[in-house]
Amino acid sequence: MRRLGLGLGLGGRHLPILDGGTLAQNFPAWTQAMAGGLAVPGTIAQNFPAWTQATAGISGPPGGMVLWLRSDLGVTLSGSNVTGWADQSGNGNNAVGDSGTQFTYNTSDANWNSKPSMSVASGQFMHIADSAGLKITGALTLVALVRSTNVSGFNCLISKGVSSCEWDSYTVTNNTSLIRTSTAQASCTNITQNVATSVIMTTDQSSNQQIYFNGVSKTLNTNTFGAGHVSTNPVRLGLRQDSFTQLVGTCVEFIVYPFYLNSTQVGNLYTYQKNFFGLP
């Protein structure tokens, strides 16, 4: 097996960089003490000027997520099969690929600004064990960067639960939906598939729901309803537990926030994605 990911060497050790994470997440106490001048607590942006971030190759989304997976960070392979994908949020919500259902790793993908990607075919998925941080019944934001070639079928992006799911996002033909407890809380039409796409779905579980495709807000059909339920179901990437809603194509990033993102926050998130993955 081999482990892929970005890190910063301090004191002879190799440390993973979690941009948007706190200093405590990115540096253990001994390295903080050694560095002396670092702000505690502080974000990467607060502790390192822009030129050092660029030198270290640091780039990431706004913080506060409970899950962050990116295709160039924390990937474990067996040959070209993805056996593990480490959560970069600092919460330990790591994804696992089981034998026979694993994603295929692509070291460079022209559709994603020559960054690595993961190919997803029929029957393939990764799963994340249930955790307290993933039991989100209120405000929620789901982020998926995918390129679906299954343009006429149902494509699961990221999902927790079965038919009466805790939360779920998918695309089909020219439609996409954010689902809570089997009801489409927010859906929209006139989407484009078979291209590299950032899909951001966000709700405050009250009067505000919005879906963004490559940073552009979509006109929605919405249903406002009560909080979602909780279960011990795992999170799945690429294939819902109904074994029918299947992403076919490639993916590069998944993020889950336990809060609503306003338009400014979405704009900041998409600017990072656009610059890093070469989106339009």
- Is the pLDDT assigned to residue 195 strictly greater than 70? yes
Parts of the chain belonging to CATH 2.60.120.200 = 67-277
Pick the CATH number of 67-277 from 3.40.50.300, 3.30.1330.40, 1.10.1060.10, 2.60.120.200: 2.60.120.200
Please give the structure tokens belonging to residue 203: 């709700």
- Predicted confidence at residue 52, as pLDDT, reads 34
- Predicted confidence at residue 33, as pLDDT, reads 35
Q: What is the mean pLDDT of residues 192-212?
A: 86
- Candidates 200, 191, 78, 203; CA nearest to 140 is 203
**Tens-place pLDDT, residues 7-66:** 443 333 333 444 444 444 444 333 333 333 333 333 433 333 333 334 345 468 999 999
What whole-number distance in Å separates Cα of residue 172 and Cα of residue 193?
A: 9
Say which residue, 101 or 60, is predicted with more confidence: 101
∠ Cα 257 263 265 (to 5°): 50
Residue at 219: amino acid letter: T
What whole-number distance in Å separates Cα of residue 105 and Cα of residue 76?
A: 10
| Residues 16/5, Cβ–Cβ less than 8 Å | yes
- Candidates 210, 162, 219, 218; CA nearest to 185 is 210
Distance of CA 28 to the CA centre of its chain: 25
